[in-house]
Amino acid sequence: MTGTSDDIFISATNGHLLWKMGGLESFTTPETGAAAHQTGRRAIVVTAVTVAAVLWVSLAHIGVHWVVDRDQGKQVVTTGDNELWTDWDLIDPSEDLRWVPCFRVVDDFLCARLTVPLDYNRPLNQSTSFGRPSPKVHIALIMLPGMNHTESGAWSESPLLVNPGGPGGSGTSLVMAAGREHQKIAGPGLDIVGFDPRGVGATTPQADCFSDMSVDVEAQSVYEKKASKEGSLMCRVLWLSENQAVGLPNTSSTATEQIVFRQSGLTKLCNTQDHPDSILRYAGTPNVAQDLMTIVQAWERWTASLMPQPAEAKVGDDVHGEAPPESTTRSIDSQPPSTRGKLVYWGFSYGTILGATFATMFPEHVGRMVLDGVVNSDEWYYENVSSVLSFLGHSSFRPPPYR
């Protein structure tokens, strides 16, 4: 596919997938000697990755097509074979937590997809100016229940929410890989919950510059969503494998030039995904902190709905009966403060920025918080704000004095 000098096109040369801009002839200049040998080895790696990606996408397409056809077009499958190795697209999203068994080939996990507004200034029940529902985000969550909680139903009054950092790290992957280790440290009786921040991982819509999904994601069928996602995955794998072929800046006579043009091409791809309802505009840290608050509130509603309701007093009952035995009473002072309706959180690296942002926005909803590998919040926000202002042409911005 070719185009003008303003277009990006793809060509295959020596097994490489090259993102090119018009006029860059050095991409196809053959190398000799040791450089050619190294290029050949890289080409083998890229080819192997390409074949693996094609096979993965093909098998995924066949699998999801079989599931959808088997269930007569139903878009939600939360039982049976989906419990062992879970397809997130087959879990029904909801504004309330609806946990289903998942990834049981690994451990006794429960999964849910929590629906939140794309823009918290536009509630979910508010229509747009075109009469369409407000755009939504479906947050992927995974829970490793505390000891015997699944059988007893005695869930933690607040779960331990974890974030691995990044930004862009997957909390669901963190819990699947290290949930038991977290419980060893925090306590076996604590429910561990990981989530993929908006735009990341299994949370939809994804901040994905390689996607060909239309703006109206909700209107797509399960198969269409899966096909787009797996096609995007293959493009991303090819892109990353080509990064390995190009190498780091200054590692060859053309590496730096190729990297610059490849990043320019990627920027143009991202520009096509940017629109008023794009997740790219609503994936910042304050939005994710608001999502944390929504998860806390959803957990509180879910556990409250499971609590047995107190029996109504009958006429003639002595509501001022004898005091309970002393052995059943507890001193209020001996109990730790309740964390119900509050955030219990463990964040690593960038996750400390997320935790600090939450504490700033919702100080009254902080329960217990571990900020592990602290990043300087002042520097983080100053660097981001100053970069944006510089892009907009405001070069006179100065950071506030440190105290």
Distance of CA 9 to the CA centre of its chain: 30
Chain-centroid distance, C-alpha 96: 18
- pLDDT tens digit string along 327-363? 444 445 567 788 899 999 999 999 999 999 999 999 9
Three-state SS across 180-217? HHHHHHHCCCCCEEEECCCECCCCECECCCCCCCCCCH
197: number of Cβ within 10 Å: 28
Q: What are phi and psi of 255, to 5 degrees?
A: -60, -50
For residue 400, name the pLDDT band (cuts at 50, 70, 90). Answer: low
- pLDDT attached to residue 233: 78
Residue from 267, 268, 285 nearest 168 by CA:
285
- Domains of the chain and any CATH numbers: 1-74+208-272 (no CATH), 81-207+277-301+341-372 (3.40.50.1820)
Q: Which one has a higher pLDDT value, 396 or 21?
A: 396
pLDDT at 70 over 70: no
pLDDT tens track for 129-156: 556 678 899 999 999 999 989 888 889 9
Q: Which residues pair with 346 in a beta bridge?
A: 162, 370
Within 116-205, residue ranges assigned H as helices are: 149-152, 171-186
pLDDT of residue 173: 94
Question: What is the DSSP code string of 5-70?
Answer: TT-EEEEEETTEEEEEETT-GGGG----HHHHHHHHHHHHHHHHHHHHHHHHHHHHHHHHHHHHHH
Identify the pLDDT of residue 263. 85
Structure confidence at residue 165 as a pLDDT band (50, 70, 90): very high
CB-side exposure of 345: number of CA atoms within 13 Å?
Answer: 29
- Across the range 276-300, mean pLDDT stands at 93
| Block residue for tokens 């900020």 | 371
pLDDT-based confidence at residue 261 (cuts at 50, 70, 90): confident
Burial of 329 (0-12, 13-18, 19+ CB in 10 A): exposed
pTM for the predicted model, two decimal places: 0.69
- Please state, rounded to an integer, the average pLDDT across all residues of the chain: 74
Cα separations in angstroms, 10 against 3, 107, 238, 368, 382:
10, 42, 11, 50, 38
Residue 323 has pLDDT above 50, yes or no: no
pLDDT score for 402: 44
32-36, 140-144, 383-387: least confidently modelled range: 32-36
| Tokens of residue 153, six digits | 């139903």
Give mean pLDDT, residues 309-332: 49
pLDDT of residue 162: 97
| CB count in 10 Å sphere of residue 372 | 14
pLDDT of the residue at 84: 86
- Tokens 């202002």 belong to 389
